[in-house]
Amino acid sequence: MLKQGLYFKLQQKLSPQQIQLMKLLQVPTAELEQRVKQEIEENPALEEGEDHDEEDTPTEDQAIAESQEVQGNEENERDDFDMSDYFQDDDTPDYKLSVNNSGPDDEERDIPLAGGSTFQDNMKAQLSLRNVDERITMLAENLIGNLDEDGYLRRDLDSIVNDLAFTQNVMCEVTELQKALKVLQSLDPPGVAARDLRECLLIQVERMPHSLEQRVAQEILDKNFEAFSKKHYDRILDRLEIDEEALKGAIDLIVHLNPKPGNTMRETDKPSQEIIPDFAVMAIDGMLELSLNGRNAPELRVSRAYREMIKDYSRNKKDKDQRDALQFIKQKLDSAKWFIDAIKQRQNTLLVTMEAIMEHQREFFLTGDEAKMKPMILKDIAERVGLDISTISRVANSKYVQTNYGTFLLKFFFSESLTNEAGEEVSTREVKKILKDAIEAEEKRKPLTDDELTALLKGKGYNIARRTVAKYREQLSIPVARLRKEL
């Protein structure tokens, strides 16, 4: 049975100002400038520049007198304005002077076309110069269209045969596609149109000048690729009956091959991202100085013109159009004030949070020694500054701090804790630093296993399980001992 009634209910709800502040907190410095420009474009009541004192703002009587004087000057200028100065004495019609039939208000929309050529275009150009029959050429061009951006043919030949039959009504055998594929694999760049990494590297080695290293590398890729990928060098030495010097030369040749030949024709490097630090913490004579990037503190003000407009429209509230205009102006003024307040709160929150992080990790900022970093989680900073954990998380998101020892992501300073044999709490980053140093100093012919790393840490007073050591090693992007082995 449905029943209606009035009920009281307490509910927490974020105001638009709070939502705006939360969004601004997680915006890094590099994007804040663009966010401010966007707000200025959307809100005409918001302007860049310092906000002047109210004493500089003219009174209403002064504003009315100034407006009447300006109107009088404009009328005088209109009286003195001679339109004949802008007319031509030539009686030639305008259409005879026009270069096309478009009107003066027509907008020209030219679509820019991208230049350059892809490696597929380059391969088709090479294919056209080869002395092969038309059918093989047609099949080879179809295979070129199936290559991925790395230059590999990832699709099975049987699937391509079916596609040709159903989509283009071209009947062919797998053997014909194999002939077309051999033609493609003879083109440049070497290794293109391979079906896997082994075939890609093998094609490149086969096209190299004959030498001892070339022959050994060819044998490794052709018959011992699995042992090579797992770095089972002892098996390769026994099977090929070669010495370590020959194996070392062959491995050096293989590692310098191009695993992605399709990227040869284009820029493969990712565009470098400019890092703009949000904070600067400098150690000067044993003291730390914290400063906020100037881009985080843009000079904004409420438009004086809109302040005057709201005075003018408030004098005549009876007219509906005047009331609508007054409501619009009030909305824009309130939005501008909220945005300015949100920017100021953002600056204050950033400074307070960074100051707490700086005090907590004072030893690191003074010395730059990663081993002296203390364990720190979001809750520690939240309790210290009296803010919510989610607020601290937003501050730490995508923010950078410049120090005497480099620029670091703010999340770099947060780490979990563990207890050593002395009962002291230490940061997991300290343990990772010890692991990294030990692996860098290990003998590459016989790298340290996870069990040996665990024993090494226990000898230094860190009672950590083997699985924890493996987890820290993976977090450092360090492979297992077998894959770190070198000759």
At 71, the pLDDT band (50, 70, 90 cuts) reads very low
The domain of 346 spans 291-413
Residues written for the chain: 487
pLDDT digit string (tens) for 327-369?
887 888 888 888 888 888 888 999 999 999 999 999 999 998 8
pLDDT given at position 101: 55
Tell me if 162 is assigned to some domain.
yes
> Of 413, 434, 449, which closes a domain?
413
Q: Is 396 in the same domain as 441?
A: no
Percent of the chain whose predicted confidence (pLDDT) is above 70: 81
pLDDT digit string (tens) for 280-311?
999 998 899 999 887 766 788 887 887 777 77
Q: Is 144 in the same domain as 243?
A: no
| In the predicted structure, residue 12 carries a pLDDT above the cut 80 | no
pLDDT given at position 206: 94
Tell me if 32 is assigned to some domain.
no
**Total domain count, the chain:** 4
Model-level pTM? 0.57
Tell me if 115 is assigned to some domain.
no
Q: Which of 475, 471, 455 is nearest to 463 (CA)?
A: 455
Q: Which of 434, 421, 391 is nearest to 25 (CA)?
A: 391
| In the predicted structure, residue 472 carries a pLDDT above the cut 80 | yes
Run of H or E including 343: helix 320-360
The SS3 assignment for 349 reads helix
Tell me if 252 is assigned to some domain.
yes
pLDDT given at position 55: 42
> Is residue 166 within 8 Å of 179, Cβ to Cβ?
no
pLDDT given at position 95: 52
pLDDT digit string (tens) for 186-245?
998 899 999 999 999 999 999 999 999 999 999 999 999 999 998 889 999 999 999 999
Phi, psi of 301, deg, nearest 5: -150, 160
Contacts 24+ apart (CB under 8 A), 345-350: 345/21, 346/21, 346/24, 346/25, 346/296, 347/292, 347/296, 347/297, 349/25, 349/387, 349/391, 349/395, 350/25, 350/278, 350/279, 350/292, 350/296, 350/395, 350/399
Tell me if 279 is assigned to some domain.
no
